[in-house]
Amino acid sequence: MRFSKNVRSHLDDAVCEPRTATRARLSRRRAITVLGAFAGIPLLAADHRSAAVAPLFEWKGTSLGSPSRLLLYHPSRAEAEQTIARCVAEIERLELIFALYRDDSEIARLNRDLRLTAPSHDMLLVLSQCQHLSALSGGAFDVTVQPLWNLYARHFFGAGPATLDGPGPRAITAARKLVDWTAVHVTTQEVALARPGMGVTLNGIAQGYVTDRVTGILRDDGFDRILADLGHSELYAVGCHPDGRAWRVGLADPRQPEKPAIILELMDGSLCTSGGYGTKFEATGRYHHLFDPATGGSASHYIAVSVFAPCASIADALSTALYVTPAERGRRVLANFPGVAALVTLPDGTMQRMAG
Q: What is the pLDDT of residues 88-98, one digit of tens each?
A: 999 999 999 99
> Is 180 among the domain residues?
no
Predicted local confidence at residue 24, as pLDDT = 35
Cβ–Cβ under 8 Å, residues 259 and 30: no
**What gap in Å lies between CA 235 and CA 127, rounded to an integer?**
22
Is 65 part of any domain?
A: yes
The domain total for the chain is: 1
Q: Is the pLDDT of residue 181 over 60?
A: yes
Mean pLDDT of the chain: 84
Residue 55 has pLDDT above 80, yes or no: no
Domain-embedded: residue 76: yes
pLDDT level of residue 87 (50, 70, 90 thresholds)? very high
Instruction: Look up the pTM and report it.
Output: 0.85
Q: Which residue in 296, 238, 229 sits closest to 269, CA to CA? A: 238
Ordered alpha helix ranges (H), the chain: 5-13, 21-25, 77-98, 106-113, 121-136, 146-157, 169-176, 206-220, 312-324, 327-334
Q: From residue 96, give the alpha-carbon distance in Å to each of 13, 193, 238.
A: 43, 20, 27
Has residue 229 been placed in a domain?
yes
pLDDT above 70 for 235: yes
Contact 231, 315 (CB under 8 A): no
Q: Residue range 321-345: average pLDDT?
A: 92
Q: Is the pLDDT of residue 156 over 70?
A: yes
Instruction: Say which range, 21-25, 333-337, 350-354, has the weakest mean pLDDT.
Output: 21-25
Residue 260: CB atoms within 10 A of its CB come to 16
Task: Find the farthest-apart pair of alpha carbons in the chain and give their distance in angstroms, rounded.
Answer: 66
Domain assignment present for 218: yes
Q: Domain range for residue 277?
A: 2-101+204-355
Structural contact between residues 272 and 307, judged by C-beta atoms closer than 8 angstroms: yes
SS3 148: helix
Task: Please list the residues that pair with 273 across neighbouring strands.
Answer: 306
Return all residues near 334 (Cβ < 8 A) that are at least 6 apart.
318, 322, 340, 342, 354, 355, 356
Residue 30 banded pLDDT, cuts 50, 70, 90: low
Query: Is residue 38 predicted with pLDDT exceeding 50?
Result: no
DSSP code for 255: T
Asked if residue 127 belongs to a domain, the reply is: no
Mean pLDDT along residues 131-137: 95
Model confidence at 85: pLDDT above 70: yes
Region 276-286: mean pLDDT is 83
H or E, element range at 66: strand 66-73
Average pLDDT over residues 280-299: 90
Instruction: Confirm whether 325 is domain-assigned.
Output: yes
Collect all residues with Cβ–Cβ distance below 8 Å to 227 and sequence separation of at least 6: 34, 37, 70, 71, 235, 236, 237, 238, 241, 247
- Asked if the structure places residue 30 within a domain, the reply is yes
Mean pLDDT of 129-138: 95
* Cβ atoms of residues 114 and 196 within 8 Å: yes
